[in-house]
């Protein structure tokens, strides 16, 4: 019976090459003969190598998926160290045990990129709508002017590490099932830098940077809103060893407005007018972000009606044009009337035939008896 190579490695049949490689490396470490000398474990180790040989090769994997013999009828792969066949990816075996560290990498630089930073900027609605310029005070790390980022005291320089001789790594010979293998790891004395700072700069303590407070002027574009992030490239803190600076991100926080409520690029507000003004029509003076403007309330305006003022909303971010100001009308019904007012309203109701109004139901708003009838009729 054909072996289930997917089951041997513990991966799905649609697993990617990366997933197959990771599964193989994990099992190879666990079942290595030097770690588990048990004969049964060694047989299991041969199985995972054979499974990986098939599944890591697109042609052999396709043959296996189609039910054919991936070894072309030749049975198991040719004999070799621990059952490795011809053409088996030897570099993957090395990576499984040594993490690809067999080659020399050389010393690493002390200069590293600085971290990004984020600060919150509070804006009024008008500042968000039209944009603004702000001066921001930030606490950050800047290049040390005494050592210019080297970390060494003035007049000195880093000394070559006497353990790795400036290579930043040391070689180590280990014994495995393949025999003696040479690997490299970072030098423990210099940390992989290849040099040692014997006399650190007193200003920055060898870090190559110092913390300070500085002021930057930024332009905030029109149309930003709550949660908008603005990236200022290279305005973050300088990296260790005088490395390039990171980025500064501005997170916009929008303060609530006493009149307007923002929805995207549109603004909403509510005005209250007397029922006489709603019936007869009137001219109202309303506030906008651009200043007071006249609003034409047409006769017969109903409660809840929305009157738009086009182009009086928020400037669209990175686009032309503005949103709208949408004014919601609330009609006030008087709760107290003096005698003359009451008589006038009664006279008006007679003229309009509304002394006993029949009432009108909007769609979906049934009366009590209609709902009761429908309940008995099973509707």
Burial (CB count <10 Å: 0-12, 13-18, 19+), residue 347: exposed
**Residue 236, Cα to own-chain centre: how many angstroms?**
18
The answer to whether residues 32 and 97 touch, using CB atoms and an 8 Å cutoff, is yes
CATH architecture, domain 5-98: Orthogonal Bundle (1.10)
Annotation: CATH topology of 261-351: HSP40/DNAj peptide-binding domain (2.60.260)
Given this model, what pLDDT does residue 7 score?
87
d(Cα 268, Cα 288) in Å, to the nearest integer? 10
Given this model, what pLDDT does residue 79 score?
36
Given this model, what pLDDT does residue 376 score?
52
What's the whole-model pTM score? Answer: 0.59
The answer to whether residues 301 and 283 touch, using CB atoms and an 8 Å cutoff, is no
d(Cα 288, Cα 278) in Å, to the nearest integer? 21
Q: pLDDT tens across 269-303, in order?
A: 999 999 999 999 999 999 999 999 999 999 999 99
Given this model, what pLDDT does residue 177 score?
58
Given this model, what pLDDT does residue 312 score?
95
The answer to whether residues 251 and 118 touch, using CB atoms and an 8 Å cutoff, is yes
Given this model, what pLDDT does residue 92 score?
46
**Residue 48, Cα to own-chain centre: how many angstroms?**
39
3-class secondary structure, 253: strand
Taking 70 as the pLDDT cut, the residues of the chain under it are 1-2, 32-36, 72-106, 174-182, 359-379
**Residue 155, Cα to own-chain centre: how many angstroms?**
45
The residue extents of the domains of the chain are 5-98, 261-351
Sign for the CA dihedral angle at 150, 154, 155, 159 comes to negative
d(Cα 295, Cα 287) in Å, to the nearest integer? 10
Instruction: Identify the H or E element spanning 179.
Output: strand 179-186
**Residues pairing with 326 in the sheet:** 268, 308
């Amino acid at each position: 019976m054909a072996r289930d190579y997917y089951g041997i490695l513990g991966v799905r049949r649609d697993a990617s090459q990366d997933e197959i490689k990771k599964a193989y490396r994990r099992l190879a470490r666990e079942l290595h003969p030097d770690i588990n000398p048990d004969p049964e474990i060694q047989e299991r180790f041969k199985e995972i190598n054979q499974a990986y040989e098939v599944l890591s090769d697109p042609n052999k994997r396709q043959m296996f998926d189609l039910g054919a013999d991936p070894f072309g009828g030749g049975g198991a792969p040719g004999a070799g160290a621990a059952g490795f066949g011809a053409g088996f990816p030897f570099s993957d075996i090395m990576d499984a045990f040594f993490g690809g560290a067999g080659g020399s990498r050389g010393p690493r630089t002390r200069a590293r990129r600085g971290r990004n930073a984020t600060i919150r900027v509070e804006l009024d609605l008008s500042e968000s709508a039209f944009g603004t310029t702000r001066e921001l005070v930030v606490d950050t790390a800047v290049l040390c002017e005494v050592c210019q980022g080297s970390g060494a005291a003035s007049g000195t320089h880093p000394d070559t590490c006497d353990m790795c001789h400036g290579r930043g790594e040391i070689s180590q010979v280990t014994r495995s099932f393949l025999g003696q293998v040479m690997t490299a790891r970072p030098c423990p004395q210099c940390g992989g830098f290849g040099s040692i700072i014997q006399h650190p700069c007193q200003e920055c303590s060898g870090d190559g940077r110092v913390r300070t407070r500085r002021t930057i002027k930024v332009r905030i574009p029109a149309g930003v809103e709550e949660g908008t992030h603005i990236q200022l490239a290279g305005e973050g803190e300088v990296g260790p060893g005088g490395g390039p600076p990171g980025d500064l991100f501005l997170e916009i926080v929008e303060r609530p407005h006493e009149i307007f409520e923002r929805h995207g690029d549109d603004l909403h507000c509510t005005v209250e007018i007397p029922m006489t003004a709603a019936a007869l029509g009137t001219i109202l003076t309303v506030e906008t972000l651009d200043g007071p403007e006249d609003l034409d309330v047409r006769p017969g305006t109903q409660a809840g009606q929305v009157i738009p003022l086009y182009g009086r909303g928020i400037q669209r971010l990175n686009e032309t044009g503005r949103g709208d100001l949408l004014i919601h009308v609330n009609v006030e019904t008087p709760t107290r009337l003096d005698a003359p007012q009451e008589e006038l309203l009664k006279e008006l109701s007679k003229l309009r035939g509304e002394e006993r109004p029949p009432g009108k139901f909007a769609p979906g708003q049934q009366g009590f008896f209609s709902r009761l009838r429908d309940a008995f009729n099973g509707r």
